[in-house]
């Protein structure tokens, strides 16, 4: 019997395991997961912490029992793989019960990513959190719950240690203005916290357009979030418990700090086994997600993939990529070689009452490195027919190549529910297929007064940028 071993039990790992077993029921599929949670939606953690999702179990797509009993997958939770030996084709797993050695015919490394801990002094203080796992989410939810159990009039004297002694709420700091930082700013502010968000660069949501980033930052401010740009955090300070965030310019009192400075691929296990990393620092693979080591694959947040616009390796650790590539590997292992496809860097984010999306290449330096001569234009247009009640505004940024007119990327922002995210799907198709502005301008996009204008904002942006070229 052929044995397929998977290291890591989240999106890529369980997608691969499930698809392989479904396509070839005779496969022996074994999954090692060092934690107790598998197949969960980490992207939903900010909304669990906010209180919109009531239990962690709601974030679980398939339970361990379902994998074992209904899908006939040998899922071994609480077991961390500590060694991969490609020569003997074995992995060594460690648990409270000791070590076990398991042989494999094919292996998937799906070790995911870890939260980045930036070079900041004082991160070992109590009250400094990250958000990279279900356990992290549980701890942050408990922090929020403690603050809500006591009404403001009943709170104890303010003090940095009160969250560990009695119920309290007060100012909190978020380090990083990316997806986690923005989403958690909403989650904490909606629970009554005074939120201070520190971004070392000159704008939040760095991967989006300047216009989108500006709109999000302005809206955060309107919602009471204090946004500090060009404010690299030097340290968190306190006597055992965090009391303040310190930048080069100021010292801001806080009772909690959340690190949202991004993630890094977990590659130590792969590197030790001789598996090569790519230029992004993540595991390098071919189109079928196979590494330089025969019959060893990698997917998910630990691996890189080819960007559809530049053709270069890119590291964009998002859920769809992990699920898609995991599924493709599962088909390959079961006997049908399948390419997982490239990535466009498509992403979306909600911040209070606005939504934003992006895809492709927007950064001019990145575009030039790939051989393009980028030109960018931003427009604003109505989201629905002008005469239709409650029409909103969509701001669209398009980037294209000056000579060829090829669409390279786009970024959109609108009021929540006014279609920035759904409209981005047309741009995903455009950048993936390498169409020109002229071709995009002829897309037959849907129109009806409650949903759109006759000329969709994307088509309007296409015309404006086309005229500029």
d(CA 26, CA 16): 15
| Choice among 43, 162, 168, 302 that is catalytic | 43
Q: How far is CA 460 from CA 176, 231, 336, 378, 422, in A?
A: 33, 36, 43, 10, 16
Structure tokens at 208: 């989006």
Give strand ranges (E) for 243-373.
244-247, 251-253, 256-259, 263-265, 296-298, 305-306, 313-314, 347-351, 354-360
Q: Count Cβ neighbours within 10 Å for each residue of 299-314 and write b for 16 or more, e otherwise.
A: bbbbbbbbbbbbeebb
Cβ neighbors of 457 (< 8 A, separation 6 or more) are 379, 380, 381, 382, 383, 394, 396, 412, 423
160: left (phi > 0), else alpha (psi -120 to 50), else beta? alpha
Would you list the DSSP string of 88-143?
Answer: TTEEEEEETTEEEEEE-SEEEE---EEE---S-BTTTSBTEEE-SSHHHHHHHHHH
Closest among 251, 233, 249, 250 to 122, alpha carbons compared: 233
Structure tokens at 190: 């909606």
Secondary structure of 178-194 in the HEC alphabet? Answer: CHHHHHHHHHHHCCCCE
How many C-beta atoms surround the C-beta of residue 331 within 10 A? 20
- Let me know if 43 is a catalytic residue: yes
Cβ neighbors of 172 (< 8 A, separation 6 or more) are 188, 193, 194, 195, 196, 254, 255, 256, 257, 258
User: C-alpha dihedral over 147, 148, 150, 155, to 10 degrees?
Assistant: 40
User: C-alpha dihedral over 285, 288, 292, 294, to 10 degrees?
Assistant: 150
CA 234 to chain centre: 25
Structure tokens at 257: 């700090």
Greatest distance between any 2 Cα atoms in the chain: 70
11 within 8 A of 63, measured Cβ to Cβ: no
How many C-beta atoms surround the C-beta of residue 90 within 10 A? 15
Task: Report, as residue numbers or ranges, the catalytic residues.
Answer: 43
């Amino acid at each position: 019997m052929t044995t397929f071993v998977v290291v890591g039990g989240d999106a890529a790992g369980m997608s691969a395991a499930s698809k392989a077993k479904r396509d070839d029921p005779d496969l022996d599929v074994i999954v090692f997961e060092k934690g107790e949670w598998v197949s969960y939606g980490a992207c939903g953690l900010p909304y669990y912490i906010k209180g919109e999702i009531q239990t962690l179990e709601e974030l679980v797509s398939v339970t361990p029992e379902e994998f074992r009993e209904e899908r006939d997958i040998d899922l071994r939770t609480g077991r961390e793989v500590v060694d991969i030996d490609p020569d003997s084709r074995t992995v060594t797993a460690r648990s409270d019960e000791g070590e076990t050695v398991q042989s494999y015919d094919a292996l998937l490394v799906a070790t995911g990513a870890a939260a980045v801990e930036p070079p900041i002094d004082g991160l070992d203080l109590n009250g400094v959190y990250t958000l990279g796992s279900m356990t992290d989410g549980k701890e942050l939810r408990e922090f929020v719950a403690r603050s809500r159990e006591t009404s403001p009039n009943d709170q104890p004297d303010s003090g940095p240690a009160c969250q560990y002694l009695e119920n309290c709420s007060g100012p909190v700091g978020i380090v990083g203005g990316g997806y986690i930082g923005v989403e958690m700013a909403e989650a904490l502010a909606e629970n009554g916290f005074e939120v201070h968000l520190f971004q070392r660069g000159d704008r939040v949501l760095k991967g989006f357009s300047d216009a989108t980033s500006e709109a999000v930052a302005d809206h955060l401010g309107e919602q009471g979030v204090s946004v500090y740009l060009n404010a690299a955090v030097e340290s968190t300070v306190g006597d055992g418990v965090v009391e303040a965030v310190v930048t080069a310019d100021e010292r801001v009192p806080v009772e909690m700090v959340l690190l949202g400075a991004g993630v890094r691929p977990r590659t130590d296990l792969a590197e030790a086994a001789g598996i090569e990393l790519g230029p992004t620092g993540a595991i390098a693979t071919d189109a079928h997600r196979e590494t330089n080591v025969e019959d060893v694959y990698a997917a998910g947040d630990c691996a890189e993939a080819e960007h559809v616009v530049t053709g270069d390796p890119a590291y964009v650790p998002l859920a769809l990529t992990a699920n898609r590539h995991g599924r493709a590997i599962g088909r390959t292992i079961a006997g049908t070689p399948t390419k997982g496809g490239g990535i466009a860097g498509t992403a979306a984010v909600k911040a209070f009452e606005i939504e934003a999306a992006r895809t492709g290449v927007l950064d001019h330096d990145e575009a030039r490195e790939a051989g393009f001569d980028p030109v960018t234009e931003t427009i604003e247009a109505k989201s629905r027919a002008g005469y239709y009640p409650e029409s909103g505004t969509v701001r669209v940024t398009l980037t294209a190549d000056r000579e060829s007119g090829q669409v390279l990327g786009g970024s959109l922002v609108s009021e929540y529910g006014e279609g920035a995210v759904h409209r981005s799907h047309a741009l995903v198709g455009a950048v993936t297929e390498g169409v020109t502005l002229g071709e995009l301008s002829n897309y037959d996009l849907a129109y009806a007064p409650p949903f759109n204008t006759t000329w969709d904002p994307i088509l309007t942006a296409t015309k404006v940028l086309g005229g500029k070229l």
